Amino acid sequence: MLNRRLAFPVLALVAIMLLAAAALAQETKKFAVVPFSYTGPQKYSYFPKAFQASLNNDLEWGGHVVPASSSVVDSIPAPKGKADAVKTLASTGIDYVISGSIAILDKEANLRIMAVGSDGSSWENKGQMPIDEITPWLDAQSKSIMGDVFNRPGYSTAETKAKNTDITDGVTNPTEPGGSQFIMANDDQYQADTLNPQFRYEGGSETIGRWRSQTLRFFSTSMVVSDGDGDGKNEVFILHKTGISAYRYEQGKLKHLDTLELTPSTQYLRLEAADLDKDNIPELIVGTYQTQYRSALKSPEGWPKSHVLSFSSGKFKFLVKDYNRFLGVLRLPPMYTPIMVAQDKGVRHLFGPRINEAYLKGSEIALGQSIPTPEYGNLYNMTYLPDEFGYKYVVLDDFHRLNVYSQTMERLSSTKEERYNSSGLGIETNDRPMGMGPGSVDETTNTYNVPFRMIAASLTQKGKYELLVNKDLSVAAQVFERFNYFSQGEIHALVWDGVGMNLAWKTRRIKGQVSDIGVADLNNDGKKQLCVLLNTFPGGMGFSNRKTVVLAYDLNAQ
């Protein structure tokens, strides 16, 4: 039996806890997103459910406004107007209901969205846009509802306009100060004045401090921002499904300069830039891979095909074509100058055992000395992270886990569950027993998923380097081991803390497949931005017909 002296304090504590829980429950409001009405072709009939799922995710404000249960939402008919919505809220006990309509005609979308509160307050907006632009429009409406309807600080239309005074065509320039695209880690040593305030604060408009290009109608794999023609202004070079294209930032958009089709029926793996002939103008190095399938066993057989290009007077020109090794760039210590490197195709594995320095000699490539590498290291998955007076090797293994090695090749740490920099590019290779020829019944087929580049950059403190990587985010990839298309990502800046790689800061969640990253002056204003190559999906809800968008985040770095 409970001691009588203890009974009263215990009962009092329980009562306080129950009252606190009740108060918390009263403070948390609920919203319901009902499926939008739809008019249009059958192939887009999944839009209403997709909009519902997207808005449920974007409108949730933990501890303040949360989605109602699916059983309640399913019982709510789409309101015919504001009065009907208020009656629905009164009968269900929900605080907000969001509804709307979708009409698709050819490639144009007409959208309407309405939010009504139980107190009779309402918000409504309409828009007309190409189908490819539905996702950013819907994201913008989510932010407006959060601020104007849910009263979340920093999200209202008035606050957004006050902060965002230099917008062209609805898209901010990458040099705008402030914003909330970045979330800073809880560690005072990384709270540096040289970083954009958006690294430190959560909240505010998602467009502040971020620029977004127009949609480019192709699937892309790699990107370089560099002054390819030596005129003092950077171009944006994008490697895509049929070749390479050059753009320049003008009036808030990417202006197309030239496109060169490369080897047909190939996979485009990596685009790099390095000054190979020492004329202070970088050349472009393109790594590709061709695959053929033997008809008998459907077994893949492939080989690398690499190219070196110049970009002069606004046009691409081949310097080396169809080189039979993988080509890439490593920034070798101690100067960390970009050096072209080459690697043979392996026998049992995709990559051969050695990486060699490579030099451009007229129209030929000459190999130099070999470069030491730790286990799993190849020219596409390895980088050097400066660390005080030395450096660390960082390697992404076949499972896209980060492995850190000392200068003596001793493995120091490895991430366990986190996966980084998956590009979605899979190369099938044969693993056949030694001495067996092609088509052996004992051979197996493996798929190597090529990662995109990691970036070592000093952004928060002078002389202290962070490793910029993309954290892969996908529910499907957590279920299916070989699934390597990621519908969302976050750029993480990781630092070596003596034990492992620790988070310094990260971007807010990016919707789409992140395919490449870089730190460069994209808009030629003298300041570098964090540049992100992104593959979007139709409406953000599919994996076919992928298209390209370039994002640039203001770093405010000195």
**What does R_g of the chain's alpha carbons equal in angstroms?**
27
Q: What is the pLDDT of residue 319?
A: 96
Q: Are 535 and 219 contacting, i.e. CB atoms less than 8 angstroms apart? A: yes
pLDDT per position as a tens digit, 340-359: 999 999 887 889 999 999 99
pLDDT of residue 553 exceeding 70 = yes
Q: Pick the closest to residue 325 from 372, 382, 270, 381 (CA basis).
A: 270
3-state helix, strand, coil split of the chain in percent (to 5) is 15, 45, 35
pTM recorded for the entire structure: 0.66
Sign of CA dihedral 66, 69, 70, 75: negative
pLDDT for 267-289, tens place per residue?
Answer: 899 999 999 998 999 999 999 99
The confidence score (pLDDT) of residue 153 equals 85
**pLDDT tens-digit map of 507-544:** 988 888 899 999 999 999 999 999 999 998 654 444 45
- Residue-wise pLDDT tens digits, 416-461: 778 899 887 888 776 655 555 555 545 566 788 899 999 999 888 7
Output 12 or 307, whichever has higher pLDDT.
307
Beta strands in 44-187 (DSSP E): 65-67, 96-105, 108-117, 122-130, 167-168, 171-172, 182-184
Residue 201: is its pLDDT beyond 50?
no
Per-residue pLDDT at 2 = 46
List all residues 6 or more positions away from 527 whose beta carbon is below 8 Å from its beta carbon. 175, 521, 554, 555, 556, 557
Confidence of residue 157 (pLDDT cuts 50, 70, 90): confident
For the stretch 368-381, pLDDT in tens is 999 999 998 999 99
Half-sphere exposure of 257 (CA within 13 A, CB side): 21
Residue 133 pLDDT grade (very low, low, confident, very high; cuts 50, 70, 90): confident
Is 13 or 398 the better-scoring residue by pLDDT? 398
Is the dihedral angle over the CA atoms 151, 157, 159, 160 positive or is it negative?
positive
Cα separation, 373 vs 528, whole angstroms:
30
Pick the more confident residue, 357 or 294: 357
